[in-house]
């Protein structure tokens, strides 16, 4: 299972990516997280549905200092590319 998540609000400059990476690794998810030019954070996670849902729930609150306005999630059953770990993209 794979999900692409976009988190909007005050999510850059509050360590969202590093906290997100830690949370994804804790849940055993693979994929990536990166800042977007429009101020949002975009995430691709792969793993069991429950872990993805738990991660998506975490995204709704984020780390201390974040202020979440909107979380958009697109889930797919079959990911195209398989990621071996979870990384921060720059």
Global pTM reads: 0.95
Total Cβ atoms within 10 A of residue 81:
8
Domain boundaries defined on the chain: 2-88
Could you say which of 17, 22, 42, 81 is catalytic?
A: 17
22 is catalytic: no
Quick one: how far is CA 41 from the chain centroid?
A: 8
Average pLDDT over residues 2-19: 98
pLDDT at 62: 97
pLDDT in tens, 35-68: 999 999 999 999 999 999 999 999 999 999 999 9
Compute the mean pLDDT over every residue in the chain, rounded to the nearest whole number: 96
Distance CA 66, CA 77 (A): 30
Among residues 10, 35, 42, 53, which one is catalytic? 35
35 assigned to active site: yes
Domain covering 2-88 assigned CATH 1.10.760.10 in the classification: no
């Amino acid at each position: 299972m794979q999900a692409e998540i976009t988190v909007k609000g005050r999510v850059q400059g509050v360590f969202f990516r590093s906290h997100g990476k830690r949370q994804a690794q804790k849940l055993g998810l693979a994929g990536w997280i990166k800042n977007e030019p429009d101020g949002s954070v975009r995430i691709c996670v792969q793993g069991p549905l429950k872990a993805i849902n738990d991660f998506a729930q975490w995204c709704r609150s984020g780390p201390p200092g974040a202020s979440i306005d909107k979380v958009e999630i697109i889930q797919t059953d079959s990911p195209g590319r398989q990621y071996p770990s979870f990384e921060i993209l720059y």
